[in-house]
Homo-oligomer: A and B are copies of this chain.
Amino acid sequence: MKLDWKGLGHYFFFGLVVLFMTSVALKAEPKQGPDVTYFKLENGLDVVVIPDRRAPVVTHMVWYRVGAADELPGVSGIAHFLEHLMFKGTEKIAPGEFSKIIARHGGEDNAFTSQDVTAYFQRVAKDKLPMVMEMEADRMANLKLLEKDVLTERDVILEERRSRIENSPSSILSEQLGASLYKNHPYGIPVIGWMHEMAVLNRQNALDHYNKYYAPNNAILVVAGDVSSDEVRTLAEKYYGPIAKGPELEPRKRQLEPPSVAPRRITHKDERAGKLTLQRLYLVPSYKSAPKGDSEALELLMKIAAEGTTSRLYKKLVIEDKLASSTGGGYSASGMEYGNLYLYAMPQSGVSIDKIEAAIDDVLADIVANGVSELELARARNSYIADYIYGNDSQSGLARRYGFALATGWSIQDIESYPTRLKAVTPEDIQQVAGKYLDLKASVTGVLQPILKQTAEVKGTQ
């Protein structure tokens, strides 16, 4: 059981962390999908119920329509910090007890923060649903923050940043790439925050964020599992219904990017880096922001070009030319305003970064010039369907799919029609988006370069 906060696995959706997420979100299909119901409570709480009768288990999630990209300037990390602090208790639940109670009843819980959402999750036996709902509703309205608990937890997030970013050369580079990809939009600021700003976050910052954003009219309740829509409605009315509406919030509006005019490049040399690595990001629209059809085509483009061992990149660089020991890539598309295409390659020893980069550019240029085949497209589509079916098998995957999409402004219709829209993609569409978005001007390329550890005589002991 996860009783230790450090072990709770709070997720950060940023840079390569978000990049390497499998894209489970937003992949449902009307005929194969679950029979989802939706309703809204008087106080504005959106409720989504996803039936899944395979086992007497339920997944309960609350999503807040707020993430790191909604933070005020200078308080980076507050969305994630508050996510931690939500485990500090209320009048009814003592600090640190929340997860222990869930665990004692055989369940598990978790929470995560991204640029666009903050979400809380529990999976429990179906008869424990009223209990977790009562607990989650309680901390939506009655969070109690003691100064000393805030300070202790701040040490925890600082340590978390140290271990996840400062101790990881590839995360350092990813963070720099993200900061460079965005010149104006807050996605350039890491979800966990900049260390120097995290170090001075305080109780009042957390309360300001909580009071503004944590309210039923800014939240989505998703319940998936062995429960009917009517049962959920009755419970939701009972536990969430009495919570007062929060302030009316302005529509979420982040500053947009200026046009992309010049390629950027970042080299991070690090004694701790394992292998020479090339990474590249292209700024592109997200599912939510893309012109009609573009995100569907980008999804399949990146499957064909870069995802996995059947991709063009892998076949050319790893298998045929033996230039790289691994390659990969994909389309990170869940952001409200922007997504990115990402690529990476690790050269075989003795192969230069320039050579690997030229080889990647050749593979991409070939797609832009000559398109992809019907066969490749069919294979990518099938791979997508396989992912999709796998996604449907996972109760928590389904809850995440619906919750994330709704919290970032999609409708249930958008979610459910996505697979159908994806099936309509043609080879011409793929060639067209390749030409449109694989634009180096909109890219940042990163090189992670291992360097020899300097000896104590030269540099002094550290």
Contact = CB atoms under 8 A, between A and B. Distances in A.
Given A255-B74, A258-B194, A266-B264, A179 B183 contact: yes
Given A74-B253, A184-B194, A265 B265 contact: yes
Given A173-B262, A255-B74, A261-B176, A188 B194 contact: no
A110 to B, nearest CB: 28
A263 interface: yes
A195 interface: yes
A165 B196 CA distance: 33
Contacts of A176: 183, 261-262, 264
Contacts of A196: 256, 258
A238 interface: no
Interface string A234-276: 0000000000000000000111101101111111110000000
Interface in A123-180: 172-173, 176, 179-180
A186 B73 CA distance: 9
Contacts of A74: 253-255
Contacts of A172: 261-262
B262 A266 contact: yes
Nearest to A186: B73
A189 interface: yes
Indicate the member of A259, A261, A262 with the most B CB atoms within 10 Å.
A262
A42 interface: no
A197 interface: yes
Contacts of A264: 176, 180, 264-266
Contacts of A180: 180, 183, 264
Contact of A197 (B186, B255, B262): B255
Interface of A: 73-74, 76, 172-173, 176, 179-180, 183-184, 186, 188-189, 194-197, 253-256, 258-259, 261-269
Given A184-B197, A262-B266, A264-B265, 9 more contacts: A73-B255, A74-B253, A172-B261, A176-B264, A194-B255, A196-B258, A264-B264, A264-B266, A265-B266
